[in-house]
Amino acid sequence: MEPTDAPALSDDALARALPAPRRLVVVSNRLPFVARPAGRGWAFERTVGGLVTGIESFVRSGKGPPEVVWVGWPGRAVPASRAASLRSEARARHGLVPVLLPSEVAEGYYDGLCNRALWPLLHSEPTAVHLEEPWWDAYRTANEAFRDAVLGELRDGDLVWVHDFHLMTLPALLREVRPDVALAWFLHVPFPAYEILRVLPDAWTRALLEGVLGADVVGLHTHDYARHFLRAVRRVLGADAAAGRLDVAGRPVRVDAFPLGVDFARHDEAAQRPEVVAERARLQAAFGDARVVLSVDRLDPTKGILQRLAAYERLLERRPDLHGRVVLALVGVPSREDVDAYRRLRARVEETVGRVNGRFGRFGWVPVHAQMRAVGPDELAALYLVADVALVTPLRDGMNLVAKEFLATRHDGEGVLVLSDTAGAARELGEALLVNPYHPAGVADALERALGTAPEARRAASEPMRERLRRYDAARWGSEQVEAVAAVRQEGRRLEARFATTADLSAIVARSSAARRRVLLLDYDGTLVPLVESPRAAAPDAALRGLLRGLAAVPDTTVVVVSGRDATTLSTWLGDLPVELVAEHGAQRRPVGGAWTDLASRDTAWHASVRPVLDVFADRLPGALVEAKTFGLAWHHRAADPELGPLRARELVETLEGLRLPPHLRVARGRDLVEVRPAAVTKAAALPALDDPTGTFLLAVGDDATDEDLFAALPPQGLAIRVGTADSRAALHVRDVGDVRRLLARLVAAGAAEGVP
Ligand code: ADP
Ligand code: F6P
């Protein structure tokens, strides 16, 4: 994988050029309903969570494709005898396609890998992570079941939108079978720093990242998560992004932040719905004159509910004057109850609520009103409306929609939001009272401030946040991803069009066969052999040696290997083959079986002053090494830390530039190296004088900037081929070393078959 350095067209221009997708295939672990057997049929109960809220809001907005189908797990094991009835009812009533998982797969995949390994890991709680091999197997099996369900559903023109950490390997599984599928993946939870991610076995991390990169667009809630994701990709897969674009085997992938928003208009208008008005009156009567602090979440250890209760308790300790005048309304919907940590949390929350009420309560005043259940949308809106303060203090949260729903519902702008700095939402809601959720005294301070904020100050803080939520709502979150997929696919087509087609390759072979002479100028690393960590490990394999021998055996054919390598290495590796060699980017040349001659002046006096600098930089970076060539000096960092390497390379270039080297020298950055060499030396020196220019088939193949010098020097009838998608003077591109070798093999075969000439 290499950075895409082709200039990207503007997303708008590209998106316009493509037909909009006709149907959206949403794929998530969780469907918007849990199916429960009811008599001979099924009852569908709404599920609670940000994922379902977000997707439903987008779908309801009508800003996406006109048709939607939702593929997901119905939340329970379904006996084979009832599968058909569930499938037909789910599709007919809700447009849902259930993915049925055997209970042992669901347990390993959902309760195990998803909830006991990935969830705590992604929320930066490594000590809560459990790793079991069978869970990983179940995760893969479940993702394959999702793949089969999606493939069974897929039609041309569909956009597949895969969601969350449950389905990280699914995008690549789908791409394998349907290379052209339009595909986005969105992560609803945080993506942690690489140091946390390392808790997972390497092979799993690699599979998860490679899986995700099967998508055209990888969406995360915030720029921080996107940065963490790209850093993990760089460290684990060795792939670098340019401006958020990765090149995955010639296919562009965009990684970007798409913060999930809410259905702003719906929340903003909620206060007018008669059902909400009635509910609000009921709640106001229940709470009387007391100020209301609201806490609403799933009962999840990451939500910081116990720490929140501790902060409220701290407030009551400090402020006896608030006794009887404040209540905490705590709504916690039970979640993932098959996992011990979740069951224990529920018990501890109930116990703590009881203790606080026992400690401070009195007849006529209950300090904490707690309900362990889901509330309906009208009751929730009414709660948002009667609350003076929303206390949203997750220990870590991908986004947190409760905070956004509260502000959107408070059309009067008078709700005060106390929000964890560690929630993704804090990136957009900077005017809230931001707190450290682990610090009860700090949260209690914020609560005091919140309760004491005057109405004008509440409105002043709330308005800019509401404006942001209005502009970047759930509809925009979804439609930006739909547009991004179109743009990336368009860019992919543009890059694809650069690659030589089968017809192009056949035409090249035909031209070669028809010519009286052939001259083939072939770069070595990255063209004839793949790039490897240690420069010494790139010795030619038997297949390559056979290929070069075969090419050279085609009558009237000259093969020149044009490399940045030094003469000694080239002689050792290729010296016995009937090919010409050009070393150090054109500084030396060796005819077949002959002796090396210099093409540049051999002045290496400058090595004495430059070498020590390179040595210091190599000593400071484990894995880096200095290569002294006959003419130039190279500092390699391919085997070093993938993040530090480029950083130190930049510093090295600056240091060398500061040395004011003689003007005949040039400092150049190559792939994972910095090189100092005579400026006059370029690969163009490899071009031989042609005695029969029109009758000669002249082909140059290379993979990096140094090969461009040769391409530029080719006469008009010469043909250049560049490996990879980077911008180039070359008329044609091929994907990789394999493509180059296949082309060369065809030239050999054509030479042999037709007895060329
Ligand atoms: P998560 O996705 O981790 O559950 P979010 O805050 O992003 O967290 O989203 C939670 C969603 O579920 C919101 O739309 C919120 O209104 C809803 N929700 C949370 N708790 C309850 C509850 N007790 N009753 C009803 N809806 C709830
Ligand atoms: O947001 C993360 C997530 O896992 C979502 O998939 C879902 O909205 C929410 O948490 C609830 O979790 P579950 O689907 O495991 O009940």
Per-residue pLDDT tens over the stretch 521-562: 999 999 999 988 777 889 999 999 999 999 999 999 999 999
Q: Which two tokens stand for residue 272?
A: 């007018």
* Ligand 2 binding pocket includes 65 (Cβ within 6 Å): no
* Ligand 2 binding pocket includes 332 (Cβ within 6 Å): no
pLDDT (0 to 100) of residue 8: 38
Query: What is the Cα–Cα distance from 651 to 275, expressed in whole angstroms?
Result: 65
Q: Which two tokens stand for residue 197?
A: 């991610």
pLDDT range class, residue 14, cuts 50, 70, 90 = very low
Q: State in words which class domain 265-469 has.
A: alpha beta
Phi and psi at 646, nearest 5°, equal -60, -35
Q: Which two tokens stand for residue 68?
A: 């939607």
Ligand 1 atom index nearest CA of 300: 3
* Ligand 2 binding pocket includes 189 (Cβ within 6 Å): yes
pLDDT tens by residue, 628-676:
989 999 999 988 988 899 999 999 999 999 988 888 999 998 888 999 9
Q: Which residues are catalytic?
A: 523
Q: What share of the chain in percent tops pLDDT 90?
A: 84
- For residue 757, pLDDT over 80 is answered with no
Strand residue runs (E) in 565-622: 580-583, 588-590, 597-598
pLDDT range class, residue 385, cuts 50, 70, 90 = very high
| Every domain of the chain and the residues it spans | 20-257, 265-469, 502-600+683-753, 607-678
Phi and psi at 692, nearest 5°, equal -135, 70
Q: What is the DSSP string of 523-567?
A: --BTTTB---SSGGG-PPPHHHHHHHHHHHHSTTEEEEEE-SS-H
Of residues 168 and 643, more confidence is placed in 168
* Ligand 2 binding pocket includes 250 (Cβ within 6 Å): no
Closest protein CA for atom 10 of ligand 2: 49
Q: What architecture is domain 20-257?
A: 3-Layer(aba) Sandwich (3.40)
pLDDT tens by residue, 106-151:
999 999 999 999 999 999 999 999 999 999 999 999 999 999 999 9
Ligand 2 atom index nearest CA of 30: 14
Residue 692: CB atoms within 10 Å: 10
- Report the amino acid identity of residue 492: G
CA 652 – ligand 1 centroid, Å:
51
Q: What is the CA radius of gyration of the chain?
A: 32
* Ligand 2 binding pocket includes 238 (Cβ within 6 Å): no
pLDDT (0 to 100) of residue 313: 98
Mean pLDDT of 150-179: 97
pLDDT (0 to 100) of residue 5: 35
Closest protein CA for atom 2 of ligand 1: 50
- CB contact at 8 A, 371 and 330: yes
For the chain, what is the largest distance between any 2 Cα atoms, rounded to a whole number of angstroms? 108
Question: For the whole model, what pTM was predicted?
Answer: 0.86
Closest protein CA for atom 9 of ligand 1: 50
pLDDT tens by residue, 224-275:
999 999 999 999 998 888 778 898 988 999 999 999 999 999 999 999 999 9
Mean pLDDT of 55-81: 93
pLDDT (0 to 100) of residue 17: 55
Mean residue pLDDT of the chain comes to 93
Q: Which helix (H) or strand (E) holds 475?
A: helix 474-496
CATH fit for domain 607-678, picks 3.30.70.2740, 3.40.50.620, 3.90.1070.10, 3.40.50.11030:
3.90.1070.10
CA 119 – ligand 2 centroid, Å:
10
CA 265 – ligand 1 centroid, Å:
18
Least confident of 154-163, 232-241, 308-317, 483-492: 232-241
- For residue 488, pLDDT over 90 is answered with yes
CA 665 – ligand 1 centroid, Å:
63
Of residues 13 and 612, more confidence is placed in 612
Q: Give CA 679 to chain center in angstroms.
A: 40
- Whether domain 502-600+683-753 has CATH 3.30.70.980: the reply is no
The angle at the Cα of 733, spanning 8 to 746, to the nearest 5 degrees, equals 160
- For residue 15, pLDDT over 80 is answered with no
pLDDT range class, residue 3, cuts 50, 70, 90 = very low
Q: Which two tokens stand for residue 41?
A: 């049929």
DSSP-based three-state secondary structure for 570 = helix
In CATH terms, are 20-257 and 607-678 the same topology? no
pLDDT (0 to 100) of residue 755: 55
Mean pLDDT of 167-182: 97
Ligand 1 atom index nearest CA of 392: 6
Ligand 2 atom index nearest CA of 53: 8
User: Which of 298, 407, 409 to probe ligand 1 with, by most ligand atoms within 8 A of CB?
Assistant: 298
- For residue 11, pLDDT over 90 is answered with no
Mean pLDDT of 708-716: 95
pLDDT tens by residue, 441-483:
999 999 999 999 999 999 999 999 999 999 999 999 999 999 9
- Of 310, 554, 340, 564, nearest to 436 by C-alpha is 310
Mean pLDDT of 67-94: 92
* Ligand 2 binding pocket includes 328 (Cβ within 6 Å): no
Mean pLDDT of 82-88: 93
Spatial neighbors of 269 by CB under 8 A, at least 6 apart, are 411
